[in-house]
Each structure stands twice: as C-alpha cells, then as structure tokens.
Structure 1
C-alpha cells in the first residue's frame, strides 16, 4: 500500500481518478492549486485506488494523505 501525500499546502482543484480504478506508475491522482499554480500529485507505484481521502475543494497541508493505492 502506498499513501499518496500532498507535496505542498493548497486546495484540491481536480481529482483525476476514482476509488477502485487501476492506476499506473507516475499517473496523476489529484491536481492541487496553490498560489495560482496547478500542482499534479502522482502515484509512485501502480495498483488500485483503495481510498480517496479528499474531495474537490478541500484544503490540504503538506504531508496530508490524499489517497491510498495498493
């Protein structure tokens, strides 16, 4: 299991996957918006999205878990 974590504080602008979806290594999971920039957050391993811990519009801090892939 891999915990996908926010690399910086920001708002969840877009979620690009759904729970139960198969993802590939390096695939974007969510896009954060911070300081008018879009920051893609990707998985480091392939697998199935087990759980999304955020919703579009949520604010996250650096290090917060966004999703679990396994």
Structure 2
C-alpha cells in the first residue's frame, strides 16, 4: 500500500478526492490550514484511492497518514 502523509501539522480544510478515484503524481488531494495559511497537499505517487483517513475539520500532525492508495 502507498500512503500520502501530512507535510506539517494543521486542520483539514478540504478534501479533493474520494475512494475509488485515480490519483496522478502532483495532483492536489487535500488542503490543510496551518498558522492561518492554506497548505495544499499534493500526491507524490500515483494510484487509486483505497481510503481517505481524515475528515474536514480534523487536526493532523506532521507524518500522519491522510490517504491510502493501492
């Protein structure tokens, strides 16, 4: 399994993908808010979304798994 992780701590503002969708390298999959800035999270890998592990409003720490790909 492949995972997309948080690059920094923050709150999930928006999720741009769902289970079953294909993801390309460099595609924006999620938006975090940290220190009043919006931080886009882009995929560094390709695959199909197996599971989105967070919800809008969740707080995540750096390194937390956000999305699992197969």
TM-score range, shorter chain: over 0.9
C-alpha displacement at 1:31, in angstroms?
0.5
* RMSD (Å), alpha carbons: 0.8
Alignment size in residue pairs: 70
* Alpha-carbon distance, 1:69 to partner: 1.4
**Structure 2, unaligned runs of 5 or more:** none
* Displaced runs of 4 or more, over 2 A: none
TM superposition score normalised by structure 1 = 0.93
Shift of 1:39: 0.6
Aligned partner of residue 25 in structure 1, secondary structure? coil
Q: Match of 2:13? A: 13
Match of 2:36 in 1: 36
1:64 matched to 2:64: yes
Which structure 1 segments of 5+ residues have no match? none
